[in-house]
Amino acid sequence: MAATNNVNRREFLKKAGLGAAGLAVAPYILPSGRLFAPTGMRSSEHVVMVAFAGGVRQQESILQRYVEDSQGEPYPGNILFNMLSGESPVAKIVFGTGNNGNTPIPAILNTPLDQQGTVFREVQALSAGHYGGLNSLVQGSTVTTQGLKQRPVNPTIFEYLRRHGGYGATDVWFVGNGIGGSTPLLTHSAHPDYGGNYGGNFFAPTVTFGSAGQTYLADAKIYHPEYELAPMNRLRTFLDLQFQSLLGQQGAGGLGNSQEERENIKAFMEAMYEKVENGTLPLPPVTDNGDLLTVAFAVEVLKWFKPNFLMVNLGAVDQCHSNFSGYLAALHRADHAVGYLWNEIQTNIPGMAGTTTLLTTPECGRNLNPNNIIDSNEWRAYDHSDANSMRVWTQLVGPDIPANHSVGSEGNPVGLVSDTMLTVADLLGVKPEVLSAGMLAPGTQSLLEQL
């Protein structure tokens, strides 16, 4: 009983403290050692951003035209059951499970997210490509000199949050759908004022916890923290100081995780390997592609670390380059993934329910006209390079987001892709610092100011 009272008292004090501060961010000691308080007002304790999901056409997503627009078949309909309100297509169902995908996956959420929050229905992308699009989501800009397999040129949201908001390394996470392209490089920029020491933590779970990870990482030796790790770390510190003084170099690849954070990450990894091996990893009701597995692990990251910011990148939709039916199935599953994510946050992650804002934005759209590739249903495939590829949308849901609200329309675009990043900064209290850094795409505004 006494223990319960203590916990309640601690919880009470924590909440009272936050309430008294009006959720204004308290001063933090930055890695530089400077006492500092961000000037922005934090209005959400946690923010989750979904990069959705590898190039999504407006026509099959927000406009709910299914195969009517793309294939000339008279069957419109909504296939994003968790995210949007609207009737499912009545025929030519190929996106579900079972025989030829003819059984749609039931919605997880009782109320679709568009009724719980706000949708910006017609948003301007900054790039028609994945990498440029993802960069615009993490940097709030695109840089023409940005090369593939290079770190972002401008600071990312992870760095802004850590440098100006005082968030710890394990408070900000990027969960990637793989290690292809430059995905693992998006955690921090090469900017001289920011960089690795302010980067976000990252896993590509299908690799880290996949078969190679199980083979090479799952059997890690556990050292005694006091008798083994402590002297080892003292020796390591000596070696590093010698290196820095003798050779004038500093190590590369760290993210400024404290020793405690590093041990916590390793403990998380060990727990995941155990869950995978024992078959006890919680999964979405249907988990038959990489995106769904990625989101399952993203939920585990949320449960374990309760980060202030997590970005998860989905990408299976990109098969639309050669397989339109597969694209529809992947789009339906990306919706299933988002539904699972939001449901878990609200029902299974104490401390994040009711205090988390979810933002979902496709990094780029897809072409208006098809290419020449025909799939097994004789439907044409779509690449992404034209003006239609620059059309996307953004959905927000969270404690202070107006419910059942819609902004903009097909003929009335409102917002930029880069707004999503600035909105994260706004929600987590570092918007003034991001704006004063002066590295956003022109016209970028917080979506909270455009509601």
Q: How far is the CB of 422 from other proteins (least distance, A)?
A: 23
| 290 contributes a contact to other proteins by CB under 8 A | no
Q: How far is the CB of 244 from other proteins (least distance, A)?
A: 7
The span of 40-48, 135-143, 230-238, 365-373 binding other proteins (CB under 8 A) equals 230-238
Distance CA 155, CA 137 (A): 11
Beta strands in 339-442 (DSSP E): 356-361, 391-397, 405-407
Shorter beta-carbon distance to other proteins: residue 62 or 301: 301
Q: How far is the CB of 375 from other proteins (least distance, A)?
A: 30
Residues whose CB falls within 8 Å of the CB of residue 129, separated by 6 or more in sequence, listed in order: 364, 384, 385
Q: How far is the CB of 44 from other proteins (least distance, A)?
A: 23
Binding test (CB under 8 A) with other proteins, winner from 251, 350, 438, 442? 251
Residues whose CB falls within 8 Å of the CB of residue 156, separated by 6 or more in sequence, listed in order: 138, 139, 186, 187, 188, 189, 194, 199, 200
Torsion angle in degrees (nearest 10) through CA of 169, 171, 174, 175:
120
- Phi first, then psi: give them for residue 172, nearest 5 degrees: -130, 125
- Phi first, then psi: give them for residue 373, nearest 5 degrees: -85, 130
Shorter beta-carbon distance to other proteins: residue 9 or 266: 266
Number of residues near other proteins (by CB under 8 A):
55
Binding mask 206-225 for other proteins (x = CB under 8 A): -xx---xx-xxxxxxxxx--
Instruction: Return the sign of the alpha-carbon dihedral for residues 238, 185, 143, 313.
Output: negative
Binding mask 348-367 for other proteins (x = CB under 8 A): --------------------
Q: What's the distance, CA 391 to chain centroid?
A: 20
| 307 contributes a contact to other proteins by CB under 8 A | no
| 190 contributes a contact to other proteins by CB under 8 A | no
Shorter beta-carbon distance to other proteins: residue 207 or 283: 207
Distance CA 231, CA 179 (A): 35
Distance CA 128, CA 385 (A): 5
| 99 contributes a contact to other proteins by CB under 8 A | no
Is the distance from CB of 143 to CB of 438 less than 8 angstroms?
A: no
- Phi first, then psi: give them for residue 310, nearest 5 degrees: -135, 130
Binding mask 130-169 for other proteins (x = CB under 8 A): ---------------------------------------x
Residues that bind other proteins (CB under 8 A): 169, 174, 176, 179, 184, 187, 199-205, 207-208, 212-213, 215-223, 227-228, 231-236, 238-240, 242-244, 246-255, 257, 262, 265-266, 269
